[in-house]
Amino acid sequence: MSEVVAEAPLAVSLATSPLVRSRRLGDYLPRHALYAALLGVPAVVLAALLSLPFPAAQGPGFVVVGILAAPVVEEASKLAMVVWMGRRLGVQASAEGWLVLGACVGFGFALVETAGYALVFGATPAGMAYVGLSRMAFLPVHALTAGLAAYGYGTWKEGRGAGRFAAGVALAVLLHGVHNGFGFLLGGAV
Amino acid sequence: MRPLGVRLVAVFLLWLAAGWLLLGWSQGLAFWEDAKRDLRPEALTPFGDTTPPPWAPIGPFLAAAVLAAAVLVLTRKLGGFRKA
């Protein structure tokens, strides 16, 4: 199977690989992917609730929240949806399948978050469009980090040790924090 | 990690690198200045100052370079684009 996947274009691989299966959704990856992306919505709600102890700050506090608190809270929220798929929905997947599902949760999360930022930070419809479109460039941050954390979860489910799970989550939080840190190099104007 | 996962991660990293490059490039254009007028002040002033810091132009290009380097390391170390 891996030979087939290696030589097929990425989109074809994603559409045809029997990487995941569940009682409810069968073994059709796009169906699982769509479901995972929809879970981005409750993930944003959960992240908003978990962020309540960290109100928006100015100056150094803004950096602390953005680099430390926000990555931890957001990665935990996305991972909660991935774990929910595994435990409550009974999804069975390879570690790589979990990477894909995690990335889908991350994309859903990023789309909802971007829509929220556009509404909050755009003073005019043009400003909202600017925020929404410019943040399209950064959608993969959430997909990448959620995918890495979910990959760790997948390796743990395969019985390859909790260390890989912890490493996946830690790497996701670190990458997220570094990305946000780059944003602060711009004075926060991302 | 098998090839599909490696390729997926590489695509994400390249997308981000392109995004950061685009942002760095757009900052030098007039529409960045125009867009600021359409944003609420709190979107631009986390440090309480509307003037970008002097190091601001470095950020996007640094980010793009780091991400591009990550793709190179990923593909070389894990053999992500080699035929199985």
Q: Sketch the domain layout of chain A as residue ranges.
A: 2-185
Confirm if A86 and A35 have CB atoms less than 8 A apart.
Answer: no
Up-side HSE of residue A128: CA atoms within 13 Å toward CB?
9
pLDDT tens digit at each of 84 positions of chain B: 556 777 888 888 888 888 887 776 666 555 566 667 777 776 665 544 455 556 566 667 777 788 788 777 777 766 555 544
**If you average pLDDT over residues A124-144, what whole number do you get?**
85
CB contact under 8 Å between B56 and A187, yes or no, is yes
Could you identify the residue written with the tokens 């570094």? A178
Strand partners, A133: none
Q: Which of B46, B58, B63 has its CB closest to that of A188?
A: B46
Which residues of B fall within a CB distance of 8 Å from A186? 23, 27, 52, 56, 59-60
Predicted local distance difference test score (pLDDT) of residue B48 = 46
For residue A152, what are the contacts with CB-CB under 8 A and spacing of at least 6? Answer: A164, A165, A166, A167, A168, A169, A171, A172
Predicted local distance difference test score (pLDDT) of residue A37 = 93
Q: Is the pTM of this model over 0.90?
A: no
Confirm if A180 and A70 have CB atoms less than 8 A apart.
Answer: yes
Give the Cα separation of A113 and A43 in Å (integer): 10
| Highest-confidence segment of A10-19, A35-44, A45-54, B2-11 | A35-44
ipTM of the complex: 0.74
Look at residue A64 and tell me whether its pLDDT is greater than 80.
Answer: no
Give the Cα separation of A11 and B10 in Å (integer): 14
Quick: pLDDT tens for A149-185.
999 999 999 888 899 999 999 999 999 998 888 777 6
In Å, how far are A111, A112, B68 from A175, measured between CA atoms? 19, 20, 14
pLDDT confidence bin for A13, thresholds 50/70/90: low
